[in-house]
Every structure is written in structure tokens, then in C-alpha cells.
Structure 1
Amino acid sequence: MVVTSAPTTRRTRRGTRVAALVVVVVALAMVIAASIALGSNRLSLGEVLHALFAYDGSYADVVVRDTRLPRTLLGIGAGMALGLAGALMQAVTRNPIAEPGLLGINHGAAVLIVFASTVFGITAPSGLVWFAFVGSLGATALVYAIGGGRGASSPMRLALAGIAIQAAFVGVNQAMQVIDTHTLDQMRFWLVGSLANRDLAALGGLVPFFVVGVVLALLLGRALNALSLGDDAAQGLGANPAVIRLTSIVAVGLLAATATAACGPIAFVGLMVPHLVRLVAGQDERWVLGLSVLAAPVVLLGCDVLGRLLASPAELQVGIVTDIVGGIVFVLLVRRLRTVNR
């Protein structure tokens, strides 16, 4: 019988994680290059390089510098926010299918954004993000009030509560848009979830919320490892479970609010990425969070590029593509959970 020592096992696990980090960084660089180079407007490599390094205002330069580059930067930021929010929710709730889009949190943010735009005429993302933050926190509280209690540990009960609340929020959004046709025209592509036609200068007001959310999330890794051992064990290690959960809720609210205010309610990214990361990183939340923040933009930008190419010369918005891909992953995950629980 071969006995593997603990130090050897730890070295192997660490080597796997470092290798995964390298792969994710390379994949992120590749998908960024694809997002800048590929699209419904077919450009040569020379035209793309000219636009990046010798901009002179030509048609190809405008497509790359004024359309694709901002879209790529937005995809990186939104992907980071959604991936971290999903990883945080799964760690805090110990629920493998917790995710801001699936549980209606993004749509809760969207409801107040549409409300603020319809009633108060607010259109600046820096103003809308406050409404998005309140909406995301309110949706979180509502999900746990309906799907919580003694059944809070049940993934299916929490998911059903989130799906029901999401359906209600979608209905409210549609009602507000039907009442105000001007808002309907403005919000149509945004509510689908899109990275297209976004003004980065206007989105600058979201950066402080994004930065605070990312920093809070990444700092919670060690505390989440303690919390995974149970509340009593976490307290014995010097952690405060109530503070950890409250900080996590604030971080998720900030991340979901900024992503939703910037590009609309995009689902399933926060569900898929943490599960893929845990296959190589294990249950150490420091590595899960660190890899999720890099892997989620790979998934989001990859889906955005796929949407541009599949419907060329038109485009499928990224929210549609993530719904299709994420829906398949969700079904597979539910089937896996049923098999494990038998």
C-alpha cells in the first residue's frame, strides 16, 4: 500500500493551483485579444494593430478603439464582479447553486434602476448604482425570507424562491416599460444584458463601488475558510460569523449593483465559474475567489465574442448567450446534485 504524506499532498495541490492560475491568465489574455480582434465587422490583423497603436480616425480604428476596446474593458469588470459575487454567495450559504442572477438579485437591482429611470428620470450610471445597490440588498433579503428558515440549507428551496422572485421582478419591469414607451426603447437591450454601446466615461462613477466590492470579497477568503468549519469552530478561530455574513452581503450587493448598472442583469456567470474553479482549487476560498475573479471575465467575454460571431452580421447580446450556456450547466449541476444526494 502506498501512503502519500501530507506535505506531498499539499505540494501537489499547490502545484495544481499555480498551474490553473497560469492557464486562466493565458486564457484571459487570449479572450481579450479575441474580443478586440473579432466581431461582426471583419477586420484584418493589420487593421486591428493599426487601431491600437497608430489611431488616425479611420473606420477600422473607430470600430476597434471606440467600440470593441470599451466593450472588452466592460466585460472584464462585469465578469470580475459577477464571478466574485457568485463565489461569495456559494461560500456563505453553502449552497452550490447560489448566484446573483439565478436568485433574482440582479433583477432586484434592475427593478429599481428602471424605476429610477422612469419616475425620476435618472440615467447616469453613477446615480443609478445607488438604486441598484438597494434593489440587490432588498432582493437578497426577500429570497432568504421566502426560501430560508429551516429549509435554507436546501439548494432547491432557495433556488425556487429566487426563480419566483425573479419572475415577479421581470413582470414589474415589463409593466413599467409598457407604461412608459420611451423607457421601453432605452431599456430594451440593457435588460437583456449587453456589453455593447456603453460609454466608459459615463460608467466611471461605478468604479469606486466596484473597487470596494472586489477588495471586500478578496479579503474574506480566510474568514470564509473558517466559516466553512461551522459557526462554533469559526468563533474558536477568532472569526465572527455574523460579521462575515454581513460583510459578504454588502460585497455581493456592491458587485451585483455595479455589474447590473453597467450592463444589465446577466445570469449564470456567477454559477458556472466558481464550480469550474473548485475542480482544480479545492475548497480553499482564498484560491476560489482569486481564480474566480480572473476566470469569470474569460467566460463573459467568450460568450460575448460567440454572440458576435454566431449571428454575424447582427449580434446576439451576451445575456442571451450566457442564459443558453448557463442553463445547460445548471441542468447538469442539478442532475449531479440529485445523484450525490441519493
Structure 2
Amino acid sequence: MSQRSLTTPRLFGLGLLIVLCIAALYSSLAFGSRSVSSTELWTTLLSRDPESAAYNTVWLSRVPRTLIILVAGVALGVSGAVMHAVTRNPLTDPGILGVNSGASFAVVLGIVAFNANAISDYRWFALIGALLTSLVVFIVGSYSPRGGRRDDPIRLTLTGVAFGAVLTGMTTILLLTNSTAYFAMRGWAAGTTAQRPTEAALEVAPLIIMGLLLAALSWRGLDAMALGEPTAIALGFNPGRIRLVALCCIALLAGGATAAAGPIAFVGLLTAHLARAIIGPHQGWITAYALVAAPLILAIADVLGRVLSEGEIPVGVVTPILGAPLLVFIARRMRVIST
């Protein structure tokens, strides 16, 4: 089948995803512990009247969290797609490679050592922790003292898991020895869009935009890398440069998402697999589908967390419940080939 004949159904599928994503984001504005009718919602959005009955619900609660769903969802989806391509491992996402653990450790360290006590402070510590962890994992995971493959996806994944375990252990030690950090971290560490100001999305948006630009610039190289480093070199690509660009892309996107919403697992993993199942091995289309599908899934999970419990279940708790069955399904279906 020609590439042109594949473009039309791919565009149709992407358009359908966009429509579903818009509907999910609308449901994020309308539904929760207090449902808002369509008329009341649009009146409140357009008038911005502080005296209206729904003003606090819509403008002070649901608009900020919907913006965070959109920004964090886009970042998690694209970072997951890029992560799959650069590691050539279908079971990796930013959380598995230690990004979430690095962000959590940095936040706890900020509370203990620097008396950080506001959500706005947590964002910057989380961002720095995620960026540094990504950098260290990729440098160590790409280092081969015996001259072996520098792009070994298994080594990279194991490095991320090891660093994540160490950072999680250090985080636990700090939490158990500091009651202030323990109580401050309970809400943030679960991964939630609640009680986040609009600034939480706006502050990380420039970083996420930069990450998206890097993803757009690197997709052809990542397609070549999927065929192996020798093939990428033969096609005129520089594997080291591609890896560096991918590292910066993942760090900016995953770090920005974690800083805005806290650690949220499985979204990048889930959307990258769904996109690849629909599209096939084409990094540009996979990235585009993941960019739209991730906010859709995140919005659904967030709304479910609001309506299924009076106390509200954090979205970071709902997404593993939705994503874990997929992970089990993938593990059972994968053909492990030993070489």
C-alpha cells in the first residue's frame, strides 16, 4: 500500500482523536463533585463574573486543572513516544526510567533542606530533579566501558530502574525521618491536578513547547534509529546527536509534566502503544497520535477520579489502574527473542 493511500485514514483517525479529546476536556470542565450545565458553563466562561454561582467551581478549580491535563497530557504522550523510539523498548516510559523518582526526591530534598512549603516551590524542585535524573540515566546508560553497543536499550532501561530504586529509597528515608516532608508530600506524590493554579501550567508551557519542537525535529532520525545504529549511520544520521536531542526532549517534556501535576505513570506507555498499534512503525504519526491521545486518557482518568469518590481519587492513582491491565496484556503477547 502506498504512503499516500495511508495518509487519508491516518488523518481521519487523528481528527477523530482530536474530537474525542475536546469532548473529554469539556467533560473536565463540566463534571465533578458539582456538575455544571452547558448553559451555566458557557455563561461563566464568557462572562467571568465573580458573582455567578459557578465562578469558583469553573474558573478557580476546573479551568486550571483542565489546562494542566492538556499540558501534562501532551508532554507525557510525546515523551512516551520518543522514549519508545530511542530505547527501542516497548515497556519504557519516563516513570520507568527514573524521572518520577528523581522529581520526587528533589521535592522532598527541597522541603527538608530548603524549607520549601508551597506548591509553586515544588514545581521547580521537581523540574530540576527530573532533568538531572534524565541526564544521568542517559549518560550512564549509554556508557560502554568495553566498547559494546552504546545504544543498548536493555542497559538504558536497567540503569533507569536502578537509579529510580535508589532515589525512591532515599526519598522514603527522608520522609520517614521528617514528619513535615511526609505530610507535605502526601498529596503531591500521588499525582493530581487538583488545587493547582493556572500558573502551574503556564510556567512549564515554554519548556514543553521546546520539547515538542525537539520531537518534531528528531522524528526522522528516530525512525532511522529504530532500524539500528549502523543503518542510521548509513542513512546519513548521527546517532549520538539523535540521542542527545531525544534526551533533551524527554527531559523537558517529562520534567515539565511532573513539575505541573506530580508523578503520573502509564500515560506515556499507554498512548505510545495505542498509537503504534493504530499507525504502525512511523515515528511522526506515532508522536502526533500520542500527543492527542494522552490528554484524552488523562482527562478521562481525572473525571473518573472525581465522580467515583466523594473524596476525589488523584489522577496519578487512576492511571495505573487503567494502564496496568494493558501492561499485563503486552507482557503476555510480546515475543521475547534471545540473540
The aligned counterpart of 1:80 is: 74
1:219 is displaced (CA, Å) by 1.5
Structure 1 letter corresponding to 2:34:
N
Structure 1 letter corresponding to 2:54:
A
Over 3 Å counting, the alpha-carbon distance change for 1:284 and 1:89 in structure 2 is same
Identify the range of structure 1 (87-96 vs 182-191) with the bigger mean alpha-carbon deviation.
182-191
1:35 is displaced (CA, Å) by 0.5
After TM superposition, the structure 1 = structure 2 runs for residues 35-184 of structure 1, keeping only pairs within 5 Å, are 35-57=28-50, 58-122=52-116, 123-124=120-121, 127-128=124-125, 129-141=127-139, 162-163=160-161, 165-184=163-182
Alpha-carbon separation, structure 2, partners of 1:259 and 1:297: 12
Alpha-carbon separation, structure 2, partners of 1:158 and 1:130: 21
The aligned counterpart of 1:257 is: 255
1:140 is displaced (CA, Å) by 4.5
Question: Is residue 312 of structure 2 the alignment partner of residue 318 of structure 1?
Answer: no
Aligned to 1:15, the other structure's residue is in SS state helix
Segments of structure 2 that go 5 or more residues without pairing to the other structure are none
The aligned counterpart of 1:3 is: none
Alpha-carbon separation, structure 2, partners of 1:13 and 1:179: 57
Instruction: Check whether the contact 1:125–1:205 (CA below 8 A) recurs between aligned residues.
Output: no
Structure 1 letter corresponding to 2:112:
T
Instruction: Check whether the contact 1:103–1:143 (CA below 8 A) recurs between aligned residues.
Output: no
Alpha-carbon separation, structure 1, partners of 2:10 and 2:319: 26
Alpha-carbon separation, structure 2, partners of 1:151 and 1:38: 49
Cα deviation, 1:164-184, whole Å, max 9, x if unaligned, reads 543443332222223332222
Over 3 Å counting, the alpha-carbon distance change for 1:18 and 1:204 in structure 2 is closer
Segments of structure 1 that go 5 or more residues without pairing to the other structure are 1-5
1:36 is displaced (CA, Å) by 0.5
After TM superposition, the structure 1 = structure 2 runs for residues 4-15 of structure 1, keeping only pairs within 5 Å, are 6=1, 9-15=2-8
Instruction: Check whether the contact 1:105–1:137 (CA below 8 A) recurs between aligned residues.
Output: no
Question: Is residue 17 of structure 2 the alignment partner of residue 24 of structure 1?
Answer: yes
What percentage of residue pairs aligned between the two structures are identical?
A: 37
Instruction: Check whether the contact 1:99–1:270 (CA below 8 A) recurs between aligned residues.
Output: yes
1:105 is displaced (CA, Å) by 2.1
Alpha-carbon separation, structure 1, partners of 2:286 and 2:18: 15
Structure 2 letter corresponding to 1:10:
Q
Aligned to 2:334, the other structure's residue is in SS state helix
Alpha-carbon separation, structure 2, partners of 1:248 and 1:161: 17
Instruction: Check whether the contact 2:192–2:261 (CA below 8 A) recurs between aligned residues.
Output: yes
Alpha-carbon separation, structure 1, partners of 2:235 and 2:123: 39
Alpha-carbon separation, structure 1, partners of 2:27 and 2:87: 36
Structure 2 letter corresponding to 1:76:
L
Instruction: Check whether the contact 2:100–2:258 (CA below 8 A) recurs between aligned residues.
Output: yes
Structure 1 letter corresponding to 2:325:
I
Instruction: Check whether the contact 1:222–1:286 (CA below 8 A) recurs between aligned residues.
Output: yes
The aligned counterpart of 1:200 is: 198
Instruction: Check whether the contact 1:105–1:140 (CA below 8 A) recurs between aligned residues.
Output: no
Aligned to 1:295, the other structure's residue is in SS state helix
Over 3 Å counting, the alpha-carbon distance change for 1:90 and 1:307 in structure 2 is same
Over 3 Å counting, the alpha-carbon distance change for 1:27 and 1:67 in structure 2 is same
Over 3 Å counting, the alpha-carbon distance change for 1:293 and 1:158 in structure 2 is same
Aligned to 1:124, the other structure's residue is in SS state helix
Aligned to 2:236, the other structure's residue is in SS state coil
Alpha-carbon separation, structure 2, partners of 1:197 and 1:188: 13
The normalised TM-score by structure 2 is 0.88
Aligned pairs, number: 332
Question: Is residue 336 of structure 2 the alignment partner of residue 335 of structure 1?
Answer: no
The normalised TM-score by structure 1 is 0.88
Aligned to 1:209, the other structure's residue is in SS state helix
Identify the range of structure 1 (283-292 vs 54-63) with the bigger mean alpha-carbon deviation.
54-63
1:202 is displaced (CA, Å) by 4.9
1:261 is displaced (CA, Å) by 1.2
Indicate the RMSD between aligned Cα atoms, in angstroms: 2.7
Structure 1 letter corresponding to 2:191:
G
